[in-house]
Amino acid sequence: MQFVADNPITPEQIEIAKNGLPIARRGTGNIFDEAVAKARSFELASQFEMEGKNELVKMLADVKAGKISGEEVSQKIATISNGYSKAIAPTDPEAALKFRATMATHGNTVLNAAYEEQLKREQSIRRIKLDQYMDNTQRLMFAEATQDPDTFLQRAEVHRKNVTDAAMLLGDVAVQREYSTKIQGAIMAAQVNAITTKLMEDDRYF
């Protein structure tokens, strides 16, 4: 995520990725020679851009399949961008600059997708852990309500706060409401279970 924050796509990068450097910025003074140079730079960069985009498409597929993290995508994009641009820079610096701009433009899309998928996976893992925590909490409350009914409500409030805090970490209001309802239901179920267990153990009621 830091890579995205530190490397936002600029309008200039997009323009260079589409058109290369403007002729007026090349500085030789010969418009014909500069136009030829521009055509040559596009030809030189086209193969590298094709290879780079192919790699980005492969990475995007890996992202969707959950095979690669955002950090790995960032490293691969940097490796491709630096490697190819260094290879062509001695021959044509403009082609190298255009390639880097293209990789930055399209690479940012892949990187954002990678972090979005990574966030979804992390949220899914947190949800599974929260479900497990809720199940364990309910088991404890059933035991506590049966063994020490006089202090159960005080203990139940501690459990309620812990579950609520854990749900808040997912950053989803709907999830917080869901687990607030679940913990309330679990508290009531534990009390009912304790009363039922007590009645069954007391021969006077049978």
Q: Which residues of the chain have pLDDT under 70?
A: 1-45, 91, 202-206
In angstroms, rounded to a whole number, what is the distance separating the alpha carbons of residues 100 and 15? Answer: 12
For residues 121 and 70, give the distance between their C-alpha atoms in angstroms, rounded to a whole number: 12
Q: What is the pTM of this model?
A: 0.59
* Closest of 74, 76, 102 to residue 88, by C-alpha: 102
The residues near 169 (Cβ < 8 Å, ≥ 6 apart) are: 126
pLDDT of 153-179, one tens digit each? 999 999 999 999 999 988 889 999 999
Burial tier of 194 (Cβ tally within 10 Å: 0-12, 13-18, 19+) = buried
